[in-house]
Each structure stands twice: as structure tokens, then as C-alpha cells.
Amino acid sequence: MTTVSATPTAAVLLIGNELLSGRTQDSNLAYIAKRMTEKGIRLREARVISDTPDVIVHTLNELRSKYTYVFTTGGIGPTHDDITADCVAEAFGVDLPIHPEAEAILMAYFKERDIEPNADRLRMARIPVGALLVENAVSAAPGFQIDNVFVFAGVPRIMQSMLDSVLPRLEEGELVHSVTVYCHLGEGTIASSLRDIQSQFPSVDLGCYPGKMSGEIKLSLVARGTDETELATVKALLEKMVADLS
Amino acid sequence: MTTVSATPTAAVLLIGNELLSGRTQDSNLAYIAKRMTEKGIRLREARVISDTPDVIVHTLNELRSKYTYVFTTGGIGPTHDDITADCVAEAFGVDLPIHPEAEAILMAYFKERDIEPNADRLRMARIPVGALLVENAVSAAPGFQIDNVFVFAGVPRIMQSMLDSVLPRLEEGELVHSVTVYCHLGEGTIASSLRDIQSQFPSVDLGCYPGKMSGEIKLSLVARGTDETELATVKALLEKMVADLS
């Protein structure tokens, strides 16, 4: 499935009270975003929501009807606050039985480590009817894919391994490349020339980002687009602009 | 305005292509989330969207009708891709003229630093009709508040100073306190006891978060709620549970 057709789109749904209380700083969005960029999939939006069943069900149904892919993170562990699988099953109107292959994966993992396979641990083998498993190379308990929705763990290392394992399943889009020119000029100094360049290349997305790098404030001028020849021209124009204004 | 009435709610709207391409790792959400928790304001959701006018206008109108407060970050600088003020004005159906006080603040800042006050820099003095200014203690160019929407810069240091300056304007809600018990037990080991405790205290939000701390994997058991006496009881039960199962 690596054909280039209509450009695929995606949304990320980060689920967890800890992200909205400020306890946890998310890093999953940036990781997913980078991988989407590498596949040519346009990540259109992300949402952060709480562990509230009707909110999860409603938001998931909204996003899955709107985008080619939806990636969720969080809420698939063994404890009472892990309700994502239940909510995904509800959103799709399907049951959530123990999945024999997921159960076998967990049982083998528990046996190897002398862990008691209690009822809570086996909750992690409940998979919505019709879903495909997503491998968890870190701690066995699988994620899953149902239709266009991918359900991943919230722990970054596990989420990353799950996402990487499904990348071959995803349709690829035309790649968006980027070039960056750094400078020490103020945004207000370059704004007018930058606007001129942007208007000459409407299909290029030209952004201007101030930030600290190695202790000093630098401006990153980033041009993104699908046409690498055009980007090379824009990069040369940006470099000339910086030289002229320095 | 520090009365305790119906609990105020909030949403965060992070605006910027760079957040969806994976170029930039957001840290504004966690900062805003912590401040909301300190004020007793319930942060209900966050959204990350691109620099696309109709998406910004539509999302802002959806969120501002739903929550007591909306905080936006990003897109209020001097360059062509800074379109947040325009979109907020459009969402509210008001004009976006140069605001005399904002202009005076900028002119004083430019004069002091020998910066040329060109047309692009003065774009940052455009404020929707009816909005109040929000102080920028870092780089002068103000944010603004219009009705229940607060419009902040995207650069974390500036965003933080803007948010901190408006905290006294916000209505306070009943505080949600939290207690945390750390342990080295597996989630599957404690899940059953944890569920029992949760069912005894339905008004407490009990969460279980695995994570690395100082190099070792620890489990954080977090209880959140408005009743500190109840939280102390829950904490004691969690500690007893950990001791019993260790």
C-alpha cells in the first residue's frame, strides 16, 4: 500500500487527565508528526482530551470520519482508568472480547517473566471485534487498528514502537520537503522581504520561528513544499535576503 | 473577580504549522495546564491546529461558546504567517485597527532599542475592537483579551509572562488537590486493589502512571480531588496497599 493517491491526512488524539492537569508533558505528538511528515501524510490537527467516556467516543467519531487516519495515545493499560479500548469499541458499535492471539502474546510474556496472569492483566487482551493487532515490542500488550483508527499506548517508548510497526500499513502521500535558513535578524526586519518571497511562491509554506539555539536567539526561516527545485530557489532567495539585510 | 461560583472551565488552542510538522515540541500546554490547576479552573481540552484562517476561525468559535475561557498561543508576530489576530477579529466579527496604546508601547520599545518602526512591526499593534491588552514583559508587543478569549504569543517565555499577567483577571474555581504515592510494583499487580479504592471514593480521580524517574521505572499513583481530608484517607490506603503488595 505505498501508492501515491489523494494525499492522506491524519489527526492525533491524546487521551489522559494527566495531560490536562499539567502533570505530564506530552512528547507523543511531535514524534507522530515527524513520522507523518516522512510518509507524506498531512497531520491536520491534534486534540488532547480527558479520560471521560462520552468525550472519547464523540471526539473519535468526529475525527475518524474526517481524516484518512486517526492515532490515539493513552489508556490501554490494565488499571481502572484505562478505558480507551472500551470507548473505541463503543464508538464503532462492536464488542470487546478477549482476542485469542493477544491473550497468547500476553500469556507467553507473563510466563517468561513469572508474572501472574490475573484478570486485570488480561483486560489488555480485550480487542474490539474486527481490529488488527499492533505489535508492542517493549512490553507485549498489543495496540490495535480498527478501520482507520490506530490505538497506541501512552508511554512514549511503547507508543513509538507501535507507530513504527504500523508505518508500512499506511498509504504514502506526496512528500513535503523543507529547507531552513538561520539568521540573527529581527522578525520585523525581514518581514517585508519574506512576504515578497511568499507571494512569489504561493505553493511554498514559508514560516518564521524565533527560538533559542545553543544559548543564542536565532530566527529559523523554514520553507516547506512538495517541489524540491522550487524549495532550492526559495532557499537561495532567503540566503540572499539575509545577506542583504545583515 | 476571585469568587468561587460555578466551576470555570477552559480550553487551549495551540496554533502553528510547526507543531503539526514535528518541527516544534510544544511546552505551552503543560504550563497553562499547571496554572489552571492552581486557579481551580478545569482545563477540558486542547487542540493543535494549522495556520489556516477558516480552521482558526471555526475552531475558536466552537471553543469559546463551550468553555469559560479559551487561551490561544502562536501567530501574533510581525510576519506574513502571523494571522491569529486577523482570525480572532473575524471570529468575533469586529475590525482590527491599530490600537493607540499598543502602538505607543511598541514605539517606546523601538525607540529605546533604536529599532525602525516599520509597517510590519506596527502590525503587532493591530488589536480587535473591544479587546483589552495583555502585557508582554519580554518583548513589548502585547497579546489581548476579547470577551472570554486570551490571545498569547507562541514563544514559551513570552506566553508564560502573558498568562501570568492575566491570572488575576480569571475567576477562581474550587481547587483540585493531588496526592501521589510512588512504588515499584507493576500496574497489573495493583490494578484490582486500586479499583477497590476508586470505587470507595467515586469523587476522587485515581490515576496510575508508569514512567522513568532518575533512571528507574516507577509507578506514580495519583489521587486528585477537591476534598483534602478524603485525599489524605486515599493516600493512606494507597500506601497500605503498596506495603501489602510489596
Whether B222 and A23 have beta carbons less than 8 Å apart is answered as yes
Q: Is residue A158 one of the residues assigned to a domain?
A: yes
Residue A152 domain-assigned (yes or no): yes
| Partner-chain contact B29 A31, CB within 8 Å | no
Cite the DSSP H helix spans in B82-221. Answer: 84-92, 100-113, 119-123, 156-166, 187-200
Q: Name the residue range of residue B230's domain.
A: 177-245
pLDDT value of residue B112: 95
Residue type, A112: E
Kindly report the average pLDDT of chain A as a whole number: 95
Q: Is residue A2 in a domain?
A: no
CA–CA min distance B234, chain A (Å) = 16
Give which of B237, B235, B239 is closest to B227, Cα–Cα.
B235
Residue of B nearest to A31 (CA): B22
Question: pLDDT tens, A106-133?
Answer: 999 999 999 989 999 999 999 999 999 9
Per the listing, cell 501574533 goes with B76
Tell me, yes or no, whether B4 lies in a domain.
no
Q: What is the dihedral of CA A60, A64, A65, A66, to 10 degrees?
A: 110
Chain A residues in contact with B19 by the CB 8 A cut-off are: 29-30, 33, 46
Chain B residues within an 8 Å CB radius of A205: 17
Residue closest to A154 by CA, chosen among B24, B208, B181: B208
pLDDT tens profile B160-210: 999 999 999 999 999 999 999 999 999 999 999 999 999 999 999 999 998
pLDDT at residue B2 in the model: 46
B209-226 pLDDT tens trace: 988 777 787 999 999 999
Task: Inspect the interface and report whether the beta carbons of A22 and B33 lie closer than 8 Å.
Answer: yes
Alpha carbon distance B127, B131 (integer Å) = 7
- One domain, residues B224 and B151: no
Q: How many Å lie between the alpha carbon of B23 and the closest alpha carbon of chain A?
A: 7
Report pTM: 0.95
Query: Has residue B1 been placed in a domain?
Result: no
Q: Give the residue among B33, B7, B57, B50 at the shortest CA–CA distance from B159.
A: B33
Averaged pLDDT for residues A192-216: 91
User: Three cell numbers at A212?
Assistant: 533559542
User: Strand B216-225 and strand B177-183: pairing?
Assistant: antiparallel
Dihedral sign for Cα B20, B22, B24, B27, please: positive
Spatial contact of B13 and B73, defined as CB atoms under 8 Å apart: yes
C-alpha distances in angstroms, B121 versus A189, B85, B108, B211? 8, 14, 13, 45
A217 touches chain B (CB under 8 A): no
Of B22, B43, B45, the CB nearest to A34: B22
- B44, B67: one domain: yes
Domain-ending residue, one of B101, B136, B169: B169
Number of domains in chain B: 2
B114 by Cβ neighbours in 10 Å (0-12 / 13-18 / 19+) ranks as: exposed
Which of A169, A199, A228 is the last residue in one of the domains? A169
Q: Hey, is the C-beta of B185 within 8 angstroms of any chain A C-beta?
A: no
The rounded percent of chain A whose pLDDT value lies above 90 is: 93
Looking at the DSSP assignment, which residues form a beta bridge with residue A223? A179, A206
Where a domain ends, among B123, B146, B169?
A: B169
The answer to the question of residue B187 being in a domain is yes
A75 neighbors A16 (Cβ within 8 angstroms): yes
Q: Are residues B182 and B198 in the same domain?
A: yes
Provide the shortest C-alpha distance from residue A198 to chain B (in Å): 8
Residues A229 and A116 reside in one and the same domain: no
Domain with B222 in it: what CATH number?
3.30.70.600
pLDDT score of B33 more than 60? yes
Tell whether B127 is covered by a domain: yes
B residues 71-130 lying closer than 8 A (beta carbon) to A:
77-81, 115-116, 118-121, 123
Domain containing residue A17: CATH number: 3.40.980.10
